[in-house]
Amino acid sequence: MQLSGKTALVSGGTDGIGAQIIRQLRAKGVTVITSGRNAERIAATRSDGFEVIEADLSTLAGVQALIAGLNARPIDILVNNAGAGADHDFREEPPDLAVADAAIFLNLNAPIHLITRLMPTLRARPEALIVNVTSGLAIAPRAGGPVYCATKAGLRSYTQALRAQLAGTAITVLEALPPVVETRMTAARTSKKMPAPECARQIVAAMERGAAEANVGLVKVLKAAHSLSPALARRIMLRF
């Protein structure tokens, strides 16, 4: 896709990978609209010249607020980037189901809602693009994050089916699968992390070349291992 001149809605663009995606898209001539839920980060992003719609996408009300904030403006690109982890490890303590429910809605339900509600405007564009940011953990889960892994695996399946449905139309569907990236969400992780700007660069490059998948960084290795032996890939990842 030729990005220059397009309008993009990027959810969760006030922090982490999303904050890098919106800056790299703007540098390529894209008009960017984003969303956030933290007042301080929203203010900082607005001060950098971005339009930010305040919306907590872990709730249906937040999805509705984001759609209302668009005010029926046409968009060419939808990037479902907003996401969050959820502590859910019975080896440590009983999980908080309210936290799990919020993560499930944010990571899986919100993208489905946004795609469904914005499909008419995407279909009306000469060319359009849907980007769903999942995770390498959508390929094989880690034991300590079953809710996060389940939502990303669910979004991966949804993305693959959506791509098949939209084959032959002007809408391209891209799944971006990052590895562990250096963000606020992964601050407690001690494993090697990819810098967020590099992760965003690879995702934006995949958008430009019209790819179906962007296996970012070490996810390429995981994908190769999974292709050879899904059982082995699962055994390796479940240790983390």
User: For residue 217, what are the contacts with CB-CB under 8 A and spacing of at least 6?
Assistant: 178, 179, 194, 198, 199, 202
State the amino acid at position 197 in one-letter form: P
Are 143 and 86 spatial neighbours (Cβ–Cβ below 8 Å)? Answer: no
Question: Quick check: is 158 catalytic?
Answer: no
Catalytic option among 148, 158, 180, 222: 148
Report d(CA 228, CA 212) in Å as an integer.
21
Bridge partners, 171 (sequence order): 128
User: For residue 110, what are the contacts with CB-CB under 8 A and spacing of at least 6?
Assistant: 11, 57, 58, 62, 63, 80, 82
Report d(CA 160, CA 162) in Å as an integer.
5
Instruction: Give the pair of three-digit tokens for residue 198.
Output: 């590099």
Region of residue 27 (left: phi > 0; alpha: psi -120 to 50; beta: else) = alpha
- Residues annotated as catalytic are 148
